[in-house]
Amino acid sequence: MTLILGIDPGLQRTGWGVIISKSNQLSFVDCGTIKSDAKLPMAERLKQLHDGVAAAIARHKPAEAAIEETFVNVSGSSTLKLGQARGALILTLSLNSLPVYEYSATMVKKSVVGSGHADKAQIAMMVGTLLPACKPHEGMRSADAADALAIAICHAHQRTVNQIKAGVR
């Protein structure tokens, strides 16, 4: 049994989700969204993200973490801000001694929906199907939390594939 923390990084809103992966079964644990205050300086906003993820780690004690890779936006400024948020989040995971696994948005979508071009509604629907206990959870009102759970699911699937390749059960 492995507790996995999934992170959907963003400067304004960062989604997080925790699942249990046991053999080929997945179970929902918790999820939520961390919001940073756009009125604050960048350093304080990054600290808000750090504090939120650190609290989720302290509460659930995951064994592994997965985070979405940065994608390049049309706006260089937006991409840079996302990169800063993602860097702060990866540091938080590392400071908590979690191994960090990174997945592209396309890989996450393929793993959860079966198509690398799925939209947020399709992802949320499949997350709800794979983790039925998350549907009534208040954290699932956020697409960011659903995306974070999808990232955790992707990692669980990749763990299983890698264990099969290595001959580990």
Q: How far is CA 30 from the centre of its chain?
A: 12
Q: Is 37 a catalytic residue?
A: no
- Give the closest residue to 148 by CA, choosing from 29, 66, 62, 87: 66
Encoded tokens for 87: 């860097």
Encoded tokens for 94: 């590392």
- Give the closest residue to 57 by CA, choosing from 25, 84, 90: 90
Encoded tokens for 38: 């756009």
Catalytic residue, from 68, 102, 119, 147: name it: 68
β-sheet bridge partners, residue 26: 21
Quick one: CA dihedral 6, 157, 164, 69, positive or negative? negative
Catalytic residue, from 8, 30, 51, 138: name it: 8
Q: Are strands 2-8 and 64-68 parallel, antiparallel or unpaired?
A: parallel
Catalytic residue, from 51, 64, 138, 144: name it: 144
Strands ordered across the beta sheet of 13-22: 25-35, 13-22, 2-8, 64-68, 100-103
| Catalytically annotated residues | 8, 68, 144
